Amino acid sequence: MSSKEFLELILPIKQKIFRLSKRLLTSTEEAEDATQEILIKAWNKNTKLKSYNSIEAMMMTMTKNYCLDRLKSKQASNLRIVHTNYTNRENLEKQTEDRDNLSWVEKIVSELPEAQKMIIQLREIEELEFEEIAQIMQMSETNVRVTLSRARKTIKEKMSKISNYGIA
């Protein structure tokens, strides 16, 4: 496979990689750097790539592992702290009034544990089947469902808290 063919093949995957990285690393620049790294890593494994589906799952698993490593390293955790500071207490009240504000959902999702965050990303945004998510996450399908349900319920609870607070 030539590098041009490879880049064309992974054209749709690279945006998925970017979105998953951004979900985990929060910053756009970090996510772009991560995507670049994953593309090079996958390209170096070139000979082992067979079907499109297996490439996608493999690259998404690589993304997951790479981003979790980044988060573990001190540098990235400093970045994360900086970037989650965006909703401070001063504008909390203002945002509560505007219940349509989507940034609330973003904030709630960003507070979920990493595994829940990733499964929310893969299911709600990438709309993947449980089988594919299980492959990417290297978990059983049942486990994916349980984690997803837990994440959805947490989001629901936090959202109704906000909406009740807004009414009161």
Partner 1 sequence: MELHNINELLDKYFDGKTTLAEEKQLKAYFSSDDVAPELAQFKPLFGYYTIEQKSETQKIFKLNKKSNKQWLWAAATVVIMIGIGLTVLQKNPNQPEQLGTFDNPEIAYQEAQKAFQLIAENLNKGKQNIKYLEEFENSKNRIFQP
Which tokens in the block code for residue 144? 């994916």
Give, as one character, the DSSP assignment of residue 112.
Answer: S
Rounded distance between C-alpha atoms, residue 51 and residue 125, angstroms: 23
Nearest to 21 by CA among 118, 107, 148: 118
Minimum CB separation of residue 74 from partner 1 in Å reads 22
Distance in Å, CB of 68 to partner 1, minimum: 20
Q: How far is the CB of 42 from partner 1 (least distance, A)?
A: 9
CB closer to partner 1 out of 76 and 119: 119
Minimum distance from residue 81 beta carbon to partner 1 (Å)? 22
Which residues would be at the binding site for partner 1 (CB under 8 A)? 3, 6-7, 14-15, 18-19, 22, 28, 31-32, 35-36, 39-40, 43, 99-102, 104-106, 109, 123-127, 129, 145-146, 148-149, 152-153, 155-156, 159-160, 163
Distance CA 43, CA 69 (A): 20
Q: How many angstroms separate the CA atoms of 76 and 121, rounded?
A: 20
